[in-house]
Each structure stands twice: as structure tokens, then as C-alpha cells.
Structure 1
Amino acid sequence: MTQLHDTTESIKGKHLTKDERAQIEILNQEGYSNRAIAKRLERAPQTINNEIKRGTVRQLTRQKQNGKTYDYYHHVYDPGFAQTRYETQRRHCGRRPKWSLANDFVDWADTQMLEDHWSPDAVIGAAKQREMFPDALIPCTTTLYTWIDRHILRTKNINLSEKLSRKTKSNKRKDRPHKRHLGPSISERPGEVDTRESFGHWEIDTVIGARHKDDAVLLTLAERQTRFEVLLKIDGKDAQPVTEAIESLVERAGDHMASLFKTITSDNGSEFSALHETLKHVTDVYFARPFASYERGTSENQHKLIRRFIPKGQSISSISDRQIQRIQRWMNDYPRKILGYQTPHERFAKAMQHTQPAQSA
């Protein structure tokens, strides 16, 4: 009897190992029954029966006798063939990853993030909201970030401006006393502005490029409910260019000014020193507390989007008015999670439709 020396411990409930298949070949050649082989390997008899059945190959033996060739076929268990077959089946077993089934979505997502500068969450939300792909092929936002980390997409983390710059901030806020009084405080602002229940409440701010006095500045106005953005390029960060831009805006709004601009909230920058006086007969203007940018959170978030196209230090004077309009159009056509993945442009149009009948009445 052949003595088998196996240092591999057989574990019940686990797949057969390469060494066990070699033992099955030896015992099978020596005439052991499947049940006897199972007992020696401490395996279930049915396991051995299935293994020998799957690993048996047809072999050809060719003999020449008296000038003639005779072919004889016989069946034998081949552990090498059985192991290769097992490894092949293991590679093809299990569920395929979702990204391998969603090539169209992956290509579209890459285009939106690389060319249109969308965030992964905006990609997922827009795909679901617009029903562009079957739900089964659209991952969640966390999964899409994981695909990016694993280099499944062409998009890299360096292409996601928000991910690299995001920092954990303390929730502790320290209010500082007013050093400048430009008009009514934000504490006097109606509660409906905070809840965003009504349309027509704006935040105004400026975005600077190169830090020299001759460079142009962007004047930004963000509607709090719809996140609709207006970008105006002005000559500098002084009260006069801001006042002139606001007066031009009032003139363009005409009879719609009262329904479009119910309130405007500003910071205490010197460029807004004449804002209250300029608009006192047109709309209500409120001023946030100093060093409290969180009170104008809409503007702060909008500025992050602007910085994707105009990084700090870049001269705004060198940027054409057409490019400013393109940035404004991109921001207003960018789907937002906070808006149910609708765009600010869509929400602004709906709000205007509800406003017009009330005005005409």
C-alpha cells in the first residue's frame, strides 16, 4: 500500500486543494473506491465523486502492429486538468462589478467631471433625475468616489477641486462686535429669508483675482432659494464701481425689481458702503456680522464654483466678458443636490412663472 504524506490539513467545507487532487489520483490508480478515498481525505464521498467526474479526461493510446495502427481510448483522472478547470471556474464565478456592466455611464461620468467640471454627486444625481441610464447601472455617490480612487475611471482625485481642498472645520463660532455700521443688521432680516421659503432674496459679494488695485473685480449676486447666480465684471473693489453696477442692474430689472429683489444681504466691506443708500427706495438691504461668512453661506459656496475657473491670483482684467458669461451659464446649468438635482436656471424659471401672475394681479 502506498503511504501518503500530506502536510496540508484538510478543512471541511473548503474547496479541494492541489495536493488533495494529487492524492486522489494516486488512490484512484491503486483501486480505492470513491468512498474509501473520501475517508482517507476526510471529505464527503459525494465531493470525491464529483471531483473525479469533473477531472476525468479521455486519453488516446496508439499502437502499431503488423504495419497497422490501432487507437485505444481510455478515461483517467488528471489532477492537473482538474486544478486548471477549478481555477478557471473560480475566475468566472461571482457577480461582475457594476462598473464592468456600465461602460456608457462610466464614459458619460468621465465627460461630465473632466470637461464640464461636475462633482461626482452631481453626476449621480443628474443621471437619476434625468433617467439617462437604468437604475441598476447607476452607483451611489460613495461608490463613484471609490471607483475614482481605484483608477477605474479616467477622472482622478486631482480633477476634483472640492475633494482636495475640503478641510474639517470647527463648529465653534465666535461673534465679534461691529466695527462699522453700514445699514440694518442681518438680525433684523425676516425669518422667511433664513428658511428659503420664498423667492427673491439675494446675497451680494465680490471675488478678487490679482491683488493689485488696478485689477477688475467680479460682483456676484446669488439668489438664496434657487442658487441662481449673476456675475458682473466691474472696474475695481471700490464703492463707486459697485454702486454703478447696482444702478445699472436696477435699471435693467425695471418693473420686475420689486418681485426679483425683495432683500439683499451683504458683508461689511467698504465697497458696499453706499449699497443701503443706493437701494433704500427699491429694496431692503441687510449686513452680516463681521467675520461671519457662514451668515452668507450661499455666496461662499458659489465662490468655490467660480474658483474652478478663476483661481486665486489670476487677473480678472484678463478674462473677457464672454468668458464671464460662460462661467455664469455653467453655474446656472449645473445640477445641484440641494435642488433635487435640478439646475438653478430651471428653478429660477419656475419661480419667475409663479411671480408673474402675482405681479400682474
Structure 2
Amino acid sequence: MVTSRIWFTAAQKAELWERWKSGSSAAAISRALDRRNKTGVLRIVTLHGGIAPAPHRRALAALRLEEREEISRGIAVGQSIRQIALGLGRAPSTVSRELRRNGGSQCYRANQADRRAWERALRAKPCRLALHRELRWRVAQKLALQWSPEQISGWLKREFPTDQDMQISHEAIYRSLFVQTRGVLKKELTAHLRTRRQMRLPKSHNAGSGQGHILDMVSIRERPAEAEDRAVPGHWEGDLLSGGNDTHIATLIERHSRFTMLVKLPRKDTTTVVAALAKHVRKLPEQLRRSLTWDQGKEMHAHKRFTIATKVQVYFCDPRSPWQRGSNENTNGLVRQYFPRGTNFARISQAHLNAIALRLNQRPRKTLGFETPADKLQAVLH
């Protein structure tokens, strides 16, 4: 293993991973472990893809050192394999296999056999993706379509409910992507992940942005209960997504189905934004036009004009409360997979935005029981 060249004790490695999971930087961890630089810490973290390896433990059914010593003593006094197994309460095949692995009865040594067993246990075992070719192909195919590991895992359970060989946890997919020593999935597939990260990073929290003031706005607290519990379709959440050179697009998310629409905006002024939103919303069936929830950005200053044009009431969130538009915030993160920060939206056509929205709407969502937003909305309309 590469880590054997990095001189950390088992206790130091355990502390390293605890500090990494708590959000400490490699430099801070190095200082805490009295290391001169962060290179050693980074090598260990990178090798394991930022995922702490599972602690090594002996299997409950494995032979213990004292049992191996009993085998050695039994051989010395001339006992048969069956007699030794009876004294241990083990199957004769277990004792026979133990002797065969370790040189036979003439060369068997308890301490040496125990050390070899521990070394064998430390070797990496083939993971599920390495053993099942079709499963590996399915996972790679969906990753290439920008599906998240969690979406892939949920879809496989729905698609192959009785075939355990075609099911895998999302954590196992992440491990196969991030842990270099596995080599099961191509490293290039990490580029299709929403974050494009090469390793697992500790979770962080983003601060909310400042809000503007809107005249005659209606508070989210007055929004109908049917919108709050997502029971009825037609209630939307909206926001602006910023790009490079002061360019923007609007994102609209239907709360019941998580159906997404992306709207190109030539400018950010309220007249332009309201007109563009109204144009898209008017295309919707009447049962999908009930309400729109927005933050207190100044681009919705002309919200009354939007309501007149669409008959859709606009409700406004409290300042610095992005969780009140949770579906929208989550979808904005998904959209960033296709349009990273700094993207110049002036170069993106409405047709391209429609294609990305279609892809998002055809991806299964965990919150929908791994149905797609498109299927969820289609079921409502019929």
C-alpha cells in the first residue's frame, strides 16, 4: 500500500480522519499531528478519495490466536484433525483448511499462521461493481448522463426489485469513483458529478444573500395551505441564477412534481424579468397556474404586472430565508452542474436551456420515490 510509506501510527490515522470529517483542512490536521507540512495528510486523504477507510476487524467466525495455539499443541501430541476440531468446537474442514494454508502439520506455527491470516484480511476485496459487469455498465451509463449516485441507486432498486446483483448503494458508487485503488469506474466519470469533485469533502454551509424590498408584496405566510403541503400542482418557486458578465437566467420549479423550467433573460431589470416569466407561464395549462414564490430581489418589483398577465399570485419569502424555497435552491444546484459559476448566459440559447430542463425533468428524484418530474407531472395532467 502507498500509505505504508507515510509514517503515521494507527492512532494518528484515526485522528486524521476524525479531524477531516469534522471539516479541518489538511494544513490544520498536519499541525495537530506535529507534521512539518500537509503533504503526508493530503496523500492519505487523496488515496482514499476523502473517504475514511473502514476499521479492520477480525470476523467473528475467524480463528483466534488461542485456537491456533490449540491446533499446534494437538499436532504436537499426535491428535487427528477430527480430534482437534472436536476440542475446538469447530468443523474438521476448518482445521484442515487452516493447516493446508500454512504449510501442513509438519510446518504449522500458530503465531505465523495468525499473522498471515491478518495480512490476508487487510487485502482489498473485490467490490460489487468489479464482480458484476452489467451493473458496472449500467452505473457508468447513468453517470455519463449526469445522474447522481443516489439517483442511480434508487432507479436500480425500482428497475430490478428482485435482482440483488443489480442493486448497489450510492455510497458504494462514490467509493468506486473516489478511491483510486479500486480502479473499477473510470476516473473521468467524476467530471459528470454535479460538483465535479475528485474526492469526498466535509459538508459546508452557504450563507444566504441579501434581499431587496418590494412594495405591496404578499408574504409567504398568506400562501394557500395546498401550496405548503405540495398536495396540489401548479404552485411554483422561482429565482435568478447569475452568470459571468452580469448575465442571468430564471429558474422555475413546480412544487408538487419538481418540474423545472429555465428562462433566458436578456437583462435583469424588472420589466424584462416579469415579461419573460409571464411569457413562459402563460403557456402552461390553467391547472398549473396557481402561485409563484420568489425571494425579495428587486427583479420582481413589477410583480403586480406579472399577476395581471398570468393570473398567478406572487408570494415573497422572508429576508435571508432560502429554505422557504427549498425545491428551487436544490434545483439551482443541479443546474450549476451544466452551467458552472462564471458561465456567460448571453451565449446560451433558450433552446439549449430547454434541453437542459428536459434532462433534469427526466432524471429520477429521491424525494419523488425515484420517479421523474416529467412522469409525476404527466400523471397529474391525465
Task: Please give the TM-score of this superposition, normalised by the length of structure 2.
Answer: 0.64
Equivalent residues of 1:182, 1:268 under 8 A apart: no
Q: Does 1:195 align with 2:229?
A: yes
Determine if contact 1:127/1:133 at 8 Å carries over to the other structure: no
What secondary structure is seen at the aligned counterpart in 2 of 1:317? helix
Aligned to 2:194: 161
Alpha-carbon separation, structure 2, partners of 1:337 and 1:15:
53
For 1:241 and 1:178, locate their aligned partners in 2 and report how far apart those are by CA, in whole Å: 17
- Aligned-partner residue type, residue 189 of structure 1: R
Partner AA of 1:242 in structure 2: V
Query: Which residue of structure 2 aligns with residue 3 of structure 1?
Result: none
Amino acid at match of 2:140: D
**Residues 128, 138 of structure 1: 8 Å contact kept:** yes
Inter-partner Cα distance in structure 1 for 2:378 and 2:256:
12
CA distances 1:306-332 after superposition (whole Å, capped 9, x unpaired): 101111111011123332122111110
How far residue 296 of structure 1 moved from its aligned partner, in angstroms, is 0.8
Call closer, same or farther: CA 1:312–1:50 in 2, change over 3 Å.
closer
| 1:113-262 superposed matches below 5 A | 113=143, 115-131=144-160, 134-150=163-179, 151=182, 152-155=184-187, 160-162=193-195, 167-169=203-205, 179-212=213-246, 215=247, 217-253=248-284, 256-257=285-286, 259-262=287-290
- Alpha-carbon distance, 1:37 to partner: 12
Question: Residues 212 and 297 of structure 2 are in contact (CA less than 8 Å); yes or no, is this contact kept in structure 1?
Answer: no
Matches within 5 A, 1:254-293: 256-257=285-286, 259-280=287-308, 282-293=311-322
> Which has the higher mean CA deviation after the structures are superposed, 104-113 or 155-164?
155-164
Say what the alpha-carbon RMSD is for the aligned residues.
4.3
| Distance of aligned partners of 1:36 and 1:218 in 2 relative to their CA distance in 1, 3 Å threshold | closer
Q: Determine whether 1:322 maps to 2:322.
A: no
- Cα drift, residue 338 of structure 1: 0.4
Cα drift, residue 136 of structure 1? 3.8
1:112 aligns with 2:148: no
What secondary structure does 2:296 align onto? Answer: coil
Paired with 1:192 and 1:38, the residues of 2 have a C-alpha distance of 73
Residue by residue over 1:6-51, the C-alpha shift from the partner in whole angstroms, topping out at 9 and shown as x without a partner, is xxxx94422899xx69xx7xx8xxxxx8349999xxx98x79x958
Structure 1 position 154, deviation (Å): 2.2
Q: How many residues align?
A: 295
Match of 1:247, SS state, is helix
State the SS of the aligned residue for 1:204. strand
Instruction: Report the CA distance shift for 1:16/1:197 in structure 2 as closer, same or farther (over 3 A).
Output: same
Q: Which digits, 9 at most, give the CA deviation of each residue in 1:183-210, with x for residues without a partner?
A: 2111111122111111110012111211
SS in 1 for 2:250: strand
The answer for the alignment partner of 1:358 in structure 2 is none
CA contact (8 A) 1:182 1:287 kept: no
The one-character-per-residue Cα deviations of 1:265-303 (angstroms, maximum 9, x if unpaired) are: 111111111123331471221111122111111111110
Alignment-derived partner of residue 41 in structure 2: none
After TM superposition, the structure 1 = structure 2 runs for residues 60-75 of structure 1, keeping only pairs within 5 Å, are: none
Partner Cα separation in structure 2 for residue 322 and residue 181 of structure 1: 34
1:333 and 2:362 correspond: yes
Q: Which moved more, 1:308-317 or 1:149-158?
A: 149-158
Higher fraction of strand: 1
Conservation of the 8 A alpha-carbon contact between 2:243 and 2:341:
yes
Counterpart residue type for residue 203 of structure 1: E
- Structure-2 change in CA distance of 1:301 and 1:14 (3 Å): same
Which runs of 5 or more structure 2 residues have no equivalent in the other structure?
Answer: 1-63
Counterpart residue type for residue 263 of structure 2: L
Distance 2:100 2:273 in 1: 82
Q: Distance in 2 between matches of 1:288 and 1:101?
A: 50
CA 165–117 in structure 1, closer or farther in 2 if over 3 Å, else same: farther
Identity %: 24
Unaligned runs of 5+ in 1: 1-9, 28-32, 56-75, 354-361
**Cross-structure match for 2:128:** 98
